[in-house]
Amino acid sequence: MKIGILISGSGSNMIKLIESCQNDKNASINIVISNNPDAKGIDFAKSKNIKTKIINHKEFSQREDFDNQINNILIENKIDFLCNAGFMRIHGEKFVEKWFNKHLNIHPALLPSFKGLNTHERAIKSGVKFAGCTVHLVRSGVDEGPIIGQAVTSVDAHDDKDSLAEKVLKLEHKLYPKCLKLFTEKLVKVKNDKVIFSDKAIKILDDFKV
């Protein structure tokens, strides 16, 4: 499976996905695309001899044109599957349809709670006792789509948004590669927008149960 990754910043989740695929006979990271010319993650991808591409969203007046340019690059590089790793742009409906059930995103909250931005600050203010991250298939709504996996941590009395972000990011780095593995090894199926897990898939995700 040839995988493309979309980033906007440092790409810490991208790094974990690259590392997880280095010795994987079923998958390889073939291109990293960023909408941000200054994204530090591009340098890491280059250091691993992975093809990179900058597609600056500011150069496009229409979101659909930006989406189309990304899609064209993915098709040119024969990409089979797509992962968002801190990609801070919302995809248009047509792009989502083109990559339907072949496109993952990771969100730093336990969806369907706290969609969008400032998740950790909102979690602290709400008084929840548990927080975490979610890997899901991409749909046209913001942070919507069938959930593949979630990882949970406690929200302690002394936590602030920064300490909670640090705890959740550690979970993201563990969860995302495992969820991608479910697809590269064909351990899950999606039917009627519901995820069907094989016994092996359930075992892989068991580490993240509370």
Going from the C-alpha of 38 to that of each of 9, 10, 30, 71, the distances in angstroms are: 8, 9, 20, 21
36-64 per-residue burial string, b: 16 or more CB within 10 A, e: under 16: beebebbebbeeeebebbebebeeeeeee
CA-wise closest residue to 73 among 142, 1, 5, 141: 5
> If DSSP states are collapsed to H, E and C, what string results for 126-180?
HCCCEEEEEEEECCCCCCCCCEEEEEEEECCCCCCHHHHHHHHHHHHHHHHHHHH
β-sheet bridge partners, residue 131: 153
Sort strands 103-107 and 130-137 into parallel, antiparallel or unpaired. Answer: antiparallel
The residues annotated with a catalytic role in the active site are 107
Q: Amino acid identity of 43?
A: D
Tell me 91's DSSP state. Answer: P
Are 151 and 179 within 8 A, CB to CB?
no
